[in-house]
């Protein structure tokens, strides 16, 4: 990378939906880069609750306050997407040892395919360590309210979607 090249980071995920743990990690990592791409995997095999367009809109609304972040969708390999955007770094969060078990083979495989793209791991804040999109969906589906787990506008969308508008 030349001294003047922009540092571009990618924060990938399914974001079904974005929660405050993701937000904490984006808040921590966006300052490390000139540009940060929040990259939504568009062709995941699992059946999402929110359509790709809904998730993009949610992300764009919530991330508007980060001047150097933009939202993009990708399909296929993450390293191909990173290459296509000249990104140097993939950012992932680690909440626990089981996250590491999941991330380690993926990271090493990504490195095997594209050694020039580095993956870095950040620890989320202690109060968001227990958050996951699947747990949050379960709670809202069963008429619970995970207060402070998601941004307000996403909380309302979860209620509308899971309990009928
Ligand atoms: O946070 P998530 O939802 O578990 O995100 C997983 C994600 C999108 C980072 C991962 O599934 C991914 O990178 N998928 C793209 C396909 C790919 O590159 N697969 C090979 C990984 S070695």
Q: What is the pLDDT of residue 2?
A: 61
Say whether 13 sits in a helix, a strand or coil: strand
Whether the bond into 77 is cis, omega within 30 of 0? no
**CA dist., res. 11 & res. 39, Å (int):** 6
- Tokens representing residue 108 in the block: 């090493």
CA–CA distances in Å: residue 10 to residues 68, 117, 140 = 12, 10, 29
Cα 113 to Cα 76: distance, rounded to the nearest angstrom:
13
Q: How many CB atoms sit inside 10 A of residue 99's CB? A: 16
Residue-level pLDDT, tens digit, the chain, 165 residues:
566 789 999 999 999 999 999 999 999 999 999 999 999 999 877 899 999 999 999 999 999 999 999 999 999 999 999 999 999 999 999 999 999 999 999 999 999 999 999 999 999 999 999 999 999 999 999 999 998 999 999 999 999 999 875
Residue with CA nearest ligand 1 atom 13: 78
* Site to substitute for ligand 1 among 73, 78, 112, most atoms within 8 A of C-beta: 78
Q: Is 77 in the pocket of ligand 1 (CB under 6 A)?
A: yes
Residue 108 C-alpha from the chain's centroid: 19
Q: Identify whether the C-beta of residue 149 lies closer than 8 Å to the C-beta of residue 55.
A: no
Q: Evaluate whether 94 touches 121 at the Cβ level (below 8 Å).
A: yes
């Amino acid at each position: 990378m030349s001294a003047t090249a922009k540092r571009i980071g990618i924060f990938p995920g399914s974001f079904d939906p974005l929660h405050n743990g993701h937000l904490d990690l984006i808040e921590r990592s966006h300052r490390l880069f000139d540009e940060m791409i929040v990259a939504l995997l568009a062709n995941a095999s699992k059946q999402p609750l929110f359509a790709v367009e809904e998730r993009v809109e949610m992300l764009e609304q919530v991330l508007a306050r980060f001047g150097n972040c933009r939202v993009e969708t990708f399909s296929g390999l993450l390293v191909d997407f990173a290459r296509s955007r000249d990104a140097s770094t993939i950012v992932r969060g680690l909440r626990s040892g089981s996250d590491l078990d999941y991330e380690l083979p993926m990271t090493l495989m990504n490195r095997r395919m594209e050694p020039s793209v580095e993956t870095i791991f950040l620890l989320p804040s202690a109060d968001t360590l227990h958050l996951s999109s699947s747990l949050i969906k379960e709670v809202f589906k069963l008429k619970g309210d995970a207060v402070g787990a998601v941004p307000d506008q996403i909380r309302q969308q979860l209620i509308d979607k899971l309990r009928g508008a």
